[in-house]
Amino acid sequence: MAFAPGTSVVFVTEKAGALKFFDTETGITRTVSGAPAVDYGGQGGLGDIAFLPGEAADELGRRTVYLSWAEAGEGDARGAVVGKGTLVCVAVESCAIQGLSVIWRQTPKVTGRGHYSHRLSISPDGQYLYVASGERQKMQPAQDTGTTLGKIVRLNLDGTPAAGNPLADKGGVSAEIWSWGHRNILGMDWDASGRLWEVEHGPAGGDELNLVQRAANYGWPIRSNGEHYNGDPIPDHAADDGFAQPALSWNPVIAPGDMLIYSGDMFAAWKGHALMAGLATQAIVDVAIDGETGREVTRHTFDRRLRALAQGPDGAVWVAEDGEGGRLLKLTAK
């Protein structure tokens, strides 16, 4: 979910394909028309939503919007895609997406319905679109720079590869890649210094918080501070293994659903911290960022799995619960 910049309106995607908005001042909730058809099932469906930082709607109520979703391919294959369109809100109670077109596709499409990741983050300067592309539970493609599985890609706002990407000279999809060796990224955000961070699911253990660096290889599936679900061991990360090291890892896992780096004033103790929505942990996990490392401070427990977080314009934190009957909660300081 994401707030439209400069407004009190939060837009929320639902995996089965609905896109809704909630005006946090008036309480109005409506469904946005024009959302794409999605390949719904497993971990797939409608994914993330992102707006250009600081872009206000024009006089006709139009602004740029990005969406990600799972798309069916030939046979039993599918993959994540990103679309760019125009969100048009001509009245308080009416919004539609117009001109939505696919600008990026995860390559290649593969079987299964897991680990799409497809989180979206636009750089603070509004110049680049970063897309988290999961390894689709296939593991080895995360180390294959001829694919975009298990990668973070860095794109121009039209979906083309951005200049300065580390594998630009290879061309093709390799030119899109910013970092690799990732598993299943479910949260990305920027700190006050303009650095990108991500949190990803490990296997049985080994969830990771990473500082995202250009051309860095984060080791999956060669290294992890967890083990395979069948109990087979995976060598732990080590300082001399040639891979980028996690800023923080968890075993047992926190099962992150999302992450934001808090920049508001309402919660002074959270300023600059990474807040993770916990699924299995049913908690907001509070992590202080110290240089290039992270340190868990505490966990704020809830009675439901938590899927997504968003910071409101007043500094309140909005929390979306996971699953059927999930609620949208507003957290404010006492």
Residues in Cβ contact with 235 at an 8 Å cutoff, skipping those fewer than 6 apart? 222, 223, 224, 241
Q: What whole-number distance in Å separates Cα of residue 11 and Cα of residue 198? A: 22
pLDDT of residue 106: 98
Report the b/e string of 125-158 with b at 16+ CB within 10 A. eeebbbbbbbbbbbbebbbebebbbbbbbbbebe
The predicted structure's pLDDT at residue 274? 98
* Average pLDDT of the segment spanning 289-305: 98
The whole-number pLDDT of residue 117 equals 98
CATH numbers and ranges of domains, the chain: 2-331 (2.120.10.30)
Report the mean per-residue pLDDT for the chain. 97
pLDDT tens-digit profile of 196-212? Answer: 999 999 999 999 999 99
Q: How confident is the model at residue 334 (pLDDT cuts 50, 70, 90)?
A: confident
Q: What token pair was written down for 136?
A: 């689709």
DSSP codes of every residue in 18-78: -EEEEETTT--EEEPBTPPP---BTTBSEEEEEE-TTPPP-TTSEEEEEEEEEEE-STT-E
The share of the chain scoring above pLDDT 70, in percent, equals 100
Q: What is the DSSP letter of 174?
A: G
At 93, the pLDDT band (50, 70, 90 cuts) reads: confident
**In the structure, what pLDDT confidence band is assigned to residue 287 with cuts at 50, 70 and 90?**
very high
Asked whether the predicted pLDDT for residue 92 surpasses 80, the reply is: no
pLDDT class of 91 with cuts at 50, 70, 90: confident
Average pLDDT over residues 113-125: 98
pTM here?
0.98
Q: What is the mean pLDDT of residues 67-87?
A: 98
pLDDT of residue 69: 98
Per-residue pLDDT at 159 exceeds 80: yes
- Alpha-carbon distance of 215 to 179, in angstroms, equals 5
Compute the average pLDDT of residues 179-199: 98
Tell me: the pLDDT tens digits for 249-275?
Answer: 999 999 999 999 999 999 999 999 999
Please tell me whether the peptide bond between 256 and the residue prior to it is cis, using omega within 30 degrees of 0: no
Residue-level pLDDT at 294:
98
Stretch 309-332: mean pLDDT, rounded?
A: 97
